[in-house]
A and B are shown apart, each in its own frame.
Chain A
Amino acid sequence: MKLKATLLGAAAALALAPMAAEAGRGDSGHLNILYWQAASILNPYLSGGTKDIDASALVLEPLARYDENGNMVPWLAESIPTVENGGVSEDLTSITWKLKEGLVWSDGTPVTSADVVFTANYCMDESGGCQQLAGFADVSSVEALDERTIKISFDKPKPFPYSAFVGSTMPILQQAQFKDCVGANAPNCTEQNFGPIGTGPFVVDEFKANDTISMSANPNYRDADKPSFASLTFKGGGDAASAARAVLETGEFDYAWNLQVDPTVLAEMAKGGKGEVISAFGSAVERLMVNMTNPDPALGDKRSTLEGGPHPFLTDPAVRRALSLAIDRALLAEVGYGAAGKPTCNVVPAPAIYVSTANDECLTQDIAKANQILDEAGWMPGPDGIRQKDGVRLSILYQTSTNAVRQDTQALVKDWWRQIGVETELKNIDAAVFFGGDQSSPDTFQKFYADIEMYTNLFDGTDPEAYMGSWKCSEIPSPANNWLGSNMPRYCNPEYDALVEKLAVTAALEERAEIVKQMNDMLMQDGAMIPLIHRGSVSARANSLQGVKLNVWDSQMWNVADWSRAE
């Protein structure tokens, strides 16, 4: 199998060589990609990890995806359906996609609408544990109108119908290969999950889970001149610093992903001259979540729930404003993120159309003003220098996941809060526990048994509708819903909920943007969250690697077919 694939690849390369004299398929030789988190599976429907999605993006492709500027571009589809071109129905309850003509899988069989329908049913199967289920929210049916046409119908009007099969998280699987892997059988199909047949520029030769993937050029790729690389190694393991070193200093690898390394160290490595650090900004924001409910351990089961009552001091708007003002975001960005971080005062920092400017007060640190606000609100320094009022001390437990940059941020914030008379205790928790949902653990971010917690969140693609819905009253985690919910600050505002409803029925982009800005400002001015840093993606590429366009709206491997080796 492996030998055959290689031979086929070589044969194809030979056959095509005379036709494309300049840059033909396979001319650039071998490509080495390093992901310090190793890929564990090549089926994005069974793993939501970025590493797995990026690895499978080399093989599997969606109908449409986002380019490096966040614009939607047709990929396997002929065009993007809209109301204007009739692809989206007038009542916004269905969308019709048409596949490009002559598409074939890497095994040579044609791609049909049946494959797309199969993929939808594969993910929507109740017992399969599909991780991209949210992409099929409100989908009532997916049907094949003809060989190349697919119609997706929704339960209710969807102003933004581009979630299913858009972006590298939801590519098309081959029905012939996966037909026995539906439902409870999905995880048992190791061979399929480790070596999916796709339409992408590469085919899998060997997959070693959590270690290395060997691939070679797809002999049936739709563009006869691409990919430029004949083969590639997708290696995983180690840590971000050593990945950066392998590209920038030793030159052993061509591309390294997600280099969250101290900026001064990264800059020093870049002086090695073998490669270049590249970065781009998406919608990720590192933020502080403010607990509006009381996390006092004495409350027992009612800890950090609405029943437990409001927080003793964080419900005071003055305190939240002072905490935010005391932070020097520019310095946090400089120390922890370098070129990959910008100070922000919004929870929606991009795309530009959604960005509000109403909260920019917090961009400049003002300790004096923060102190003044607290003085005016009646919080006076006690004998130990910590402000207090009516016997309540401003003493904060500040938790986050374990990560060197986060711990530096914690230390800095603690120092600034000390200067405004707020005492801080730091706590860091292993990421697998913090972001995990173990009901028995007191340390999960949903339980939020602390006053402040810090992490990064973002939204997939460019539409923030689902994301903005996170802070509805009904999303508050509590024992009643098994702590499932995304409203960590336990923010509850009927006006906000009304805006969520409004957004769901508004179609015009400008109006949507206006509503999102309004919601963003409401969250910021109510102080439910204290945004800190607009975080970018940082990667490194070797100087000899051409065609890399760092994309934060989709997989970083989105245009790997265009990559080539410079002479």
Chain B
Amino acid sequence: MTDAAKAAEKPRSQWADVWAQFRSHRGAMIGMGFFVFICLLVIFGPMLWDIAPNKIDIRAKNQGPSLAHPFGTDQLGRDTFAQVLAGGRVSLLVGVTAMAISLFLGTLVGVLAGYFKRLDSPLMRLTDLFLALPILPLLLVIIMLFRDPLRAAFGPEKGIFILVVFVIGITSWMHTARIVRGDVLSLKEQEFVLAARSIGTPPHRMILRHILPNVLSPIMVSATLGIATAIITESAISFLGLGFPSDFPTWGRLLSDSTNFMSLHPERVIWPGLAISLTVLAVNYIGDGLRDALDPRIRGR
């Protein structure tokens, strides 16, 4: 009621509405808060916590949590807290960017294939091709072909970052594309689309205004799962020696490195594992809130 009253006072833009609805979603707000917190932490944390993540202090190896090392140290005496902070920068950036690339590609292909009958068959066969490609040999080929040129152009770290993000992006869009296409196929037959088409709405407008908002929920689910997949895939790529150098910490790598120490030093697996899980959970709640906020049927209530 208050909403209606306010709306009567002054006309509000659609985005203000969306924001209001988003704010009323408690999970989404907590998720958002946590996500912003963890972003700030990994951006500014290393400036405040001045132990370098690669600093080796072999006398202090395999220590439990203490004041000097709140998360303990690893088998070479590197500070786990500093590593989690530094690793978070890379992992978050890789996760979000790769997820965005794969989402963009997947949605684009899915919508085009679902909406334009002519494109359906070739695009879906392309998707089949990508689904069938053996990922590991493909990675070896891509990295062999592009690592050195990218390194030369952007420097070792940025070059490999671009490579890793690109590789994860182009090898993980297929499922999103298939799902989006399925949804678009059934949406296309619904009355409101027929109605919109009958008044001569051009295809791009049709897709942006009518189709896309309605396929948002599978996209959101793909997005949340995609971040987790990207973070883990990065660790697999780096583990195989195809990604970042071995002394360059990321969450996935910290987790896989410490798996063998699980029964000896459980705290070492808990921190990176928790960091990945909580980030994914936060993104998931943000996704939930966004979907609700963007759905006009819910927003009205």
Contacts and interface: CB of A to CB of B under 8 A. Distances in A.
Judge A-B direct contact (beta carbons within 8 Å): yes
A414 B54 CA distance: 10
A262 B58 contact: no
Interface in B88-135: none
B148 interface: yes
Contact of A264 (B56, B144, B240, B264): B264
A507 interface: no
A382 interface: no
Given A331-B58, A402-B239, A415-B56, A262 B246 contact: no
Interface residues of B, number: 24
A367 to B, nearest CB: 14
Contacts of A265: 260-261, 264
Interface string B131-152: 0000000001000100010001
Given A411-B56, A433-B140, A442-B144, A262 B260 contact: yes
B76 A408 contact: yes
B241 A428 contact: yes
Given A411-B76, A412-B58, A428 B260 contact: no
Contacts of A404: 257, 260
A430 B240 contact: yes
Contacts, number: 65
B76 A425 contact: no
Given A410-B246, A411-B54, A402 B263 contact: no
Contacts of B240: 402, 430
Contact of A297 (B54, B56, B148): B148
Contacts of A264: 62, 75, 261, 264
A214 interface: no
Most chain A CB within 10 A, of B61, B62, B156, B247, is at B247
A411 B247 CA distance: 6
Interface residues of A, number: 30
B286 interface: no
Contacts of A428: 241, 245-246
Interface string B39-71: 000000000000000101010011000000000
Nearest to B246: A407
Interface string A318-344: 000000000000010001000000000
A567 interface: no
B144 A241 contact: no
A427 interface: yes
A54 B219 CA distance: 52
Contacts of B257: 404
A185 interface: no
A394 B75 CA distance: 28
B144 A441 contact: yes
A402 B244 CA distance: 12
A265 B75 CA distance: 10
Interface string A438-475: 00111100000000000000000000000000000000
A411 B257 CA distance: 14
A404 B239 CA distance: 9
Contact of A262 (B54, B156, B261): B261
B259 to A, nearest CB: 8
Contacts of A335: 58, 61, 75-76
B75 A241 contact: no
Given A262-B75, A408-B76, A414 B247 contact: yes
A426 interface: yes
A426 B140 contact: no
A130 B247 CA distance: 40
A256 interface: no
Contacts of A429: 241
A414 B240 CA distance: 20
A261 interface: yes
Contact of B241 (A297, A331, A412, A430): A430
Contacts of B56: 411-412, 415
B148 A268 contact: no
A241 B257 CA distance: 12
A429 B263 CA distance: 29
A402 B58 CA distance: 22
A429 B156 CA distance: 15
A557 to B, nearest CB: 27
Contacts of A411: 54, 56, 76, 246-247
Interface string A529-564: 000000000000000000000000000000000000
B255 interface: no
B283 interface: no
B245 A402 contact: no
Most chain A CB within 10 A, of B61, B240, B260, is at B260
A404 B253 CA distance: 11
Nearest to B242: A430
Interface string B230-258: 00000000011110011100000000010
B75 A408 contact: yes
Nearest to B55: A415
Contacts of A261: 260
Contacts of B264: 264-265, 268
B260 A426 contact: no
A264 B265 CA distance: 11
B268 to A, nearest CB: 12
Nearest to B136: A430
Interface in A360-376: none
A428 B264 CA distance: 27
Interface string A100-137: 00000000000000000000000000000000000000
Contacts of B144: 440-443
A278 to B, nearest CB: 20
A428 B257 CA distance: 15
Interface string B148-182: 10001000100000000000000000000000000
A241 B58 contact: no
B145 to A, nearest CB: 10
Nearest to A336: B75
Nearest to B144: A441
A335 B62 CA distance: 11
Contact of B247 (A268, A297, A331, A426): A426
A297 B246 CA distance: 22
Most chain A CB within 10 A, of B242, B246, B257, is at B246
B64 to A, nearest CB: 14
A83 to B, nearest CB: 50
Contacts of A426: 245-247
Nearest to B263: A268
Contacts of A433: 140
A330 to B, nearest CB: 11
A268 B261 CA distance: 10
Given A264-B261, A402-B241, A415-B56, 16 more contacts: A261-B260, A264-B264, A331-B58, A335-B58, A402-B240, A410-B246, A411-B76, A411-B246, A412-B56, A425-B156, A426-B247, A427-B241, A428-B241, A430-B140, A441-B144, A442-B148
Interface of A: 241, 261-262, 264-265, 268, 297, 331, 335, 401-402, 404, 407-408, 410-412, 414-415, 425-430, 433, 440-443
14 contacts: A264-B261, A268-B263, A402-B240, A411-B247, A415-B56, A426-B246, A426-B247, A427-B241, A428-B245, A428-B246, A429-B241, A430-B241, A430-B242, A433-B140
Closest 5 CB pairs of A and B: A402-B241, A407-B246, A428-B241, A415-B56, A426-B245
